[in-house]
Amino acid sequence: MTSTTTGVERELDELLGRERFAPSEGVRGRALIADGTVHAEAAQDPAAWWARQAEALDWFERWDTVLDDANPPFYRWFAGGKLNASYNCLDRHVEAGRGDRVAFHWHGEEGETRAITYAWLLEQTQRAANALEAHGVRTGDVVGIFLPMIPEVVVAMLACARIGAPHNVVFGGFSAESVKERMEFSEAKALITVDGARRKGKTAAVKRAVDAVGMPVQTTFVVRHTGVDCPMGERDVWWHEALEAAAPERAPEPLDAEHPLYILYSSGSTAKPKGILHTTGGYLTQVAWTHRHVFDLDPETDVYWCSADVGWVTGHSYIVYGPLLNGCTSVMYEGAPDYPHKGIWWELCERDGVTIFYTAPTAIRACMKWGAELPARHDLSALRLLGSVGEPINPKAWLWYWKVVGGGRCPVVDTWWQTETGGIMVTTLPGAQDAKPGSAGTPLPGIDVAVLDEDGAPVPDGRQGLLAIRRPWPGMLRTLFKDEQRYVETYFSKWPDQPGTYFVGDAARRDADGYHWVIGRVDDVINVSGHRLSTAEVESAIVAHAAVAEAAVVAQHDEDTGQAIVAFVTLAGERAGDAALEAELREHVAARIGKLARPKRIVWSADLPKTRSGKIMRRLLRDVAEGRELGDVTTLRDPAVMEELKRKVAARGDDDA
Ligand code: WTA
């Protein structure tokens, strides 16, 4: 932060005491939902209420059963119903005469723009569906997608959905090694990737990197994007050639409501990522409803921008499926928020007249650092609603967002959800509920969230407990790909006498108004800039380096990224723990997992704190990393280890300052 107290900061300091922000009369007056009757209606019969929301989709065949809960925790929503996601996202809008509507105002890093219409998406999607089939992809086959933020990623996803081939999108920031692993785990038949990706003025040779590790797939489709030199092998197919050769029509496959729509790998408490599986009917129902009502969307007039990457669930649900189901116009930006300059987001908001903006607290904190002058240089008067997702938002960032970006007139919706939940679960409906900075809000209609203790009893309001979801919801994951046992163990085994209660993995408290204050993860998941990483995954990458004997990874609170990764590393051979090795280890982790997983700090430790049975006590390492008083050290084999680590961390802390 700047050391001089600017006018903005003074204003924010004054606002910090304000607990509630009520929707203005103007906001309430135009809102789709302006009071609490929807919550009450849904509470009476949640399944029936969701069934009414499912009618917003086009079904080829209506369902027999809304919710089949005969075999918990394996639930089926809208069983017997048939539909197609790509039909709902594209055809029906085009058939209704809205083919010329812009689905995405796309902006490239170098200033290029493309207006992507619904009609164009539909034609491309059908061609792509035919191209996939021409190369042997069938309904039920998994297709990997490793693409940057370009319109082709939407075409690729919807083409898969059209033929019922579940997609497995991997975030562009992951390494080729990670892609390979995810292709293996999901038994992908084909991969759709790109010649090169641009990042801050540089071009990464993506296809080369993919080739270097070798992908276990039959066909690799390559989108030509940057024109960077791109070797093509026997099993490689240019995307544009395959699409040109394909017929422009492919009927949408009528798929069962429970047909898998996609797999998305996410980090859990072990090194192996979890293949979270989402199906079609329930997921689309929840995503369409939440996108419409949480953002109070008017598809005729709004211009919506979610700044996430399609490689995360936020991109799946709120860049691709939600906005397209609702037929709205979105902005898609290829680049980083600080390239070509730190005001690019606001420049694009002004240029396209963005009305709804959805981003993550970590991005808001970065913008705060860059200064209020940057948004002030642009006309942001079209904005009317702001959203936040990915991690708890600290009140100061909330207020800055509200005041500086939203001009004090736009409601801020803080949306709590997870890859597993498919769609938003806890938030405030902007025309109906007050916002409280720092609290995500209340469960949405039809969602039953509770804060429980270790034994499964509700904790009194105001006290911290474990977040739980007590009733199945339509967008919930259905299983972990080919790992039903892990699905049950991870999510439905915390409270054995409540076999249908879903264990979230977050700590939270509820206040007297029923608002939820999420504190953070209780498992070994780290949230760096809203990106989920597992400590075990990072540890196993570090110990794979020849110089390392042992490593323990913990999270440390971080002003900018929410949490940061700290690695305690014990070396094996002769090499000394110096700056060169530190850099080498960080690059090693980048190559194994991706740059996002590089530890912010590495602490060389002659030994790690272990119990007498040899278990590493991460709790103590977290205390050290965050500079807290150490908890109980009496169970340690060698308590002196902690003193040594404390000294080291403190010494480095001084250097950093
Ligand atoms: C955290 C991202 C507080 C939480 C959609 C959750 C949040 C994890 C919020 C899921 C929020 C997400 N307030 N915490 N509004 N949104 N989280 O799977 O710890 O990448 O469990 O899904 O992010 O991360 P995931």
**How is 430-483 classified by DSSP, letter by letter?**
TTTS-B-TT--BEEPTT--EEEE-TTSPBPPTTS-EEEEE-S--TTS--EETT-
Least confident of 124-128, 357-361, 529-533: 529-533
Q: From ligand 1's centre to the CA of 115, what distance in Å?
A: 32
Cβ-in-10-Å burial (0-12, 13-18, 19+) of 602 comes to: buried
Percentage of residues in the chain having pLDDT higher than 70: 98
Closest ligand 1 atom to 426 CA:
15
Closest ligand 1 atom to 416 CA:
15
Determine the pLDDT at residue 654: 46
DSSP secondary structure letters along 60-124: SB--SEEEEEEETTEEEEEET-EE-HHIIIIIHHIIIIITTSEEEEEE-TTS-EEEEEHHHHHHH
Distances (CA, A) of 168 to 140, 189, 236, 640: 12, 11, 19, 47
Spatial contact of 446 and 458, defined as CB atoms under 8 Å apart: no
Q: Is the CB of 397 under 6 A from ligand 1?
A: no
The H or E element spanning position 366 is: helix 361-370
Task: Give the pLDDT band of residue 639 (cuts 50, 70, 90).
Answer: confident
Q: From ligand 1's centre to the CA of 466, what distance in Å?
A: 14
Residue 134 pLDDT > 80? yes
Q: Is the CB of 492 under 6 A from ligand 1?
A: no
Phi (first) and psi of residue 302, to 5 degrees = -80, 150
Task: Give the pLDDT band of residue 657 (cuts 50, 70, 90).
Answer: very low
Distances (CA, A) of 431 to 273, 289, 305, 354: 38, 15, 20, 19
- 592-605 pLDDT, tens digit each: 999 999 999 999 99
Residue 633 pLDDT > 90? no
Closest ligand 1 atom to 314 CA:
5
- 308-317 pLDDT, tens digit each: 999 999 999 9
Determine the pLDDT at residue 17: 85
Determine the pLDDT at residue 655: 43
Determine the pLDDT at residue 231: 94
- 17-67 pLDDT, tens digit each: 899 999 999 999 999 999 999 999 999 999 999 999 999 999 999 999 999
Distances (CA, A) of 601 to 270, 308, 318, 640, 656: 21, 26, 33, 22, 10
Determine the pLDDT at residue 8: 87
Question: Residue with the nearest Cα to atom 4 of ligand 1?
Answer: 391
Cis upstream peptide for 73 (omega within 30°): yes
Q: Is the CB of 294 under 6 A from ligand 1?
A: no
- 143-157 pLDDT, tens digit each: 999 999 999 999 999
Question: What pTM does this model have?
Answer: 0.94
Determine the pLDDT at residue 188: 98
Question: Residue with the nearest Cα to atom 7 of ligand 1?
Answer: 391
**Mean pLDDT of all residues in 539-551:** 93
Question: Residue with the nearest Cα to atom 3 of ligand 1?
Answer: 392
Q: From ligand 1's centre to the CA of 532, what distance in Å?
A: 8
Task: Give the pLDDT band of residue 573 (cuts 50, 70, 90).
Answer: confident
In residues, how long is the chain? Answer: 657
Phi (first) and psi of residue 235, to 5 degrees = -95, 15
Determine the pLDDT at residue 656: 39
Q: Name the average pLDDT for the chain.
A: 95
Of 364, 417, 491, the one to substitute when testing ligand 1's pocket (max ligand atoms within 8 A of C-beta) is 417
Q: From ligand 1's centre to the CA of 318, what distance in Å?
A: 14
Q: Is the CB of 529 under 6 A from ligand 1?
A: no
Distances (CA, A) of 36 to 247, 388, 428: 50, 22, 11
Q: Is the CB of 417 under 6 A from ligand 1?
A: yes
Determine the pLDDT at residue 510: 98
Q: From ligand 1's centre to the CA of 334, what distance in Å?
A: 23
- 369-393 pLDDT, tens digit each: 999 999 999 999 999 999 999 999 9
What type of residue is 246? A
Question: Residue with the nearest Cα to atom 24 of ligand 1?
Answer: 418
What type of residue is 598? R
Of 532, 534, 596, the one to substitute when testing ligand 1's pocket (max ligand atoms within 8 A of C-beta) is 532
Task: Give the pLDDT band of residue 653 (cuts 50, 70, 90).
Answer: low
d(CA 651, CA 646): 8
Q: Is the CB of 518 under 6 A from ligand 1?
A: yes
d(CA 438, CA 361): 11
**Mean pLDDT of all residues in 508-525:** 95
Of 266, 278, 398, 416, the one to substitute when testing ligand 1's pocket (max ligand atoms within 8 A of C-beta) is 416
- 451-463 pLDDT, tens digit each: 999 999 999 999 9
Residue 4 pLDDT > 50? no
Closest ligand 1 atom to 520 CA:
19
